[in-house]
Amino acid sequence: MGKVILTGDRPTGKLHLGHYVGSLRRRVQLQDAGDYDKMFVFMADVQALTDNADNPEKIRRSIVDVALDYLAAGLDPEKCTIFIQSQIPELTELTTYLMNLITVSRVQRNPTVKTEIKMRNFEANIPLGFFCYPVSQAADITLFKATTVPVGEDQEPMLEVTRELVRRFNATYGEVLVEPNIMLPENATARRLPGTDGKEKMSKSLGNCIYLSDSADDVWQKVRSMFTDPDHLRVDDPGKVEGNAVFTYLDAFSSDQDFADFWPEYKNLDELRDHYRRGGLGDMKCKKFLYQVLNRFLEPMRLRREEFGKDIPEVMNILRKGTDKARETAAETMAEVRRAMQINYFE
């Protein structure tokens, strides 16, 4: 049995630096390492609609935005299959059967679902489709027999549900589905990048994001007004790097090479941190450096985005081809599922 990587995003807006360090960068590395048999990356529009049912325009627009972000970041449709969730009817079919193998109370205990219900103020009015999305996500993963799912920590409860459903399914109907493993981001900063305002998370609703598609000028404006150490009033004052968003970002994005190329007065981030802590180093200098560091990888993305953006029908064509290819795998697994469940009446 092969190694299959599968992961996806809800298309509810453009992707930002948090997505990049948290998952996108890793996906491109995984794709280029080629150390797997298949790789699927998909846009979870069915899941996005579970709490955006009244806003289909937003989801539709985001499909194109996210596709451009994927391609700009370096996902290569020759090496990884990019597809749209809603266009794989087998996913809905498998979801229906998996729902018989899990209880309402089991889903109610899912901490991620609990948090989201609070955040969205659903209280007694939880859309049933939203409530069931962990099962739908289990179908996403198992229909493609994914072995490895690179996602953030908040997705661990979904993977748990998926593994339980796989065991239930296989015990009830026979060995068909595969238990997946989660692959978490390498380090703590990559797991949760704070917003430019220093708040714990980069999030569209907080307006504290740097988008992968932001212009160089936008990036500079955002970096310039970034949260640092509120007690670092004069350059000579000692500064704090903990909770200082500029330093958190440098931690996530800068390399020794960046220092060599843009700020050779320091060998690495440790030296810069020491100087900042001692005092005598102004925020603006650090921000200018961070801007250069970010621009170094954002600029090539901007250029690629611009290229792909010139031919949106071709982008849609890439998605259509990826979806067709994903459907082949989906159909194979679904045939096995139907046979195992003895609902292959006309075979």
Cβ of residue 31: shortest distance to ligand TRP, in angstroms?
Answer: 15
Query: Judged by CB under 6 A, which stretch of 8-16, 212-220, 224-232, 328-336 contacts ligand TRP?
Result: 8-16
Q: What is the CA angle 94-100-103, rounded to 5? A: 125
Cβ of residue 35: shortest distance to ligand TRP, in angstroms?
Answer: 19
Cβ of residue 159: shortest distance to ligand TRP, in angstroms?
Answer: 8
Query: Judged by CB under 6 A, which stretch of 123-131, 148-156, 186-194, 313-321 contacts ligand TRP?
Result: 148-156
Q: What is the CA angle 87-90-92, rounded to 5? A: 85
Cβ of residue 20: shortest distance to ligand TRP, in angstroms?
Answer: 14
Note whether 137 binds ligand TRP by CB under 6 A: yes
Query: Judged by CB under 6 A, which stretch of 136-144, 217-225, 241-249, 322-330 contacts ligand TRP?
Result: 136-144
Q: Which long-range contacts (CB under 8 A, 24 or more apart) does 232-240 make?
A: 232/283, 235/279, 235/280, 235/281, 235/282, 236/279, 236/280, 237/279, 238/277, 238/278, 238/279, 239/276, 239/277, 239/279, 239/281, 239/283, 240/277
Note whether 151 binds ligand TRP by CB under 6 A: yes
Residue 60 has φ and ψ, to the nearest 5°, of: -60, -45
- Closest to ligand TRP by CB, 155 or 196: 155
Note whether 141 binds ligand TRP by CB under 6 A: yes
Q: How far is CA 88 from CA 10, 29, 56, 305, 326, in A?
A: 16, 27, 18, 27, 8
- Using Cβ positions, the residue closest to ligand TRP within the complex turns out to be 44
Cβ of residue 239: shortest distance to ligand TRP, in angstroms?
Answer: 35
- Closest to ligand TRP by CB, 8 or 13: 8
The count of other CB atoms within 10 Å of the CB of residue 32 is 12
Q: How far is the C-alpha of 270 from the C-alpha of 86, rounded, in Å?
A: 47
Q: Which of 7, 213, 228, 254 binds ligand TRP (CB under 6 A)?
A: 7
Q: What residues line the site for ligand TRP (CB under 6 A)?
A: 6-10, 44, 47, 137, 140-141, 149, 151, 155
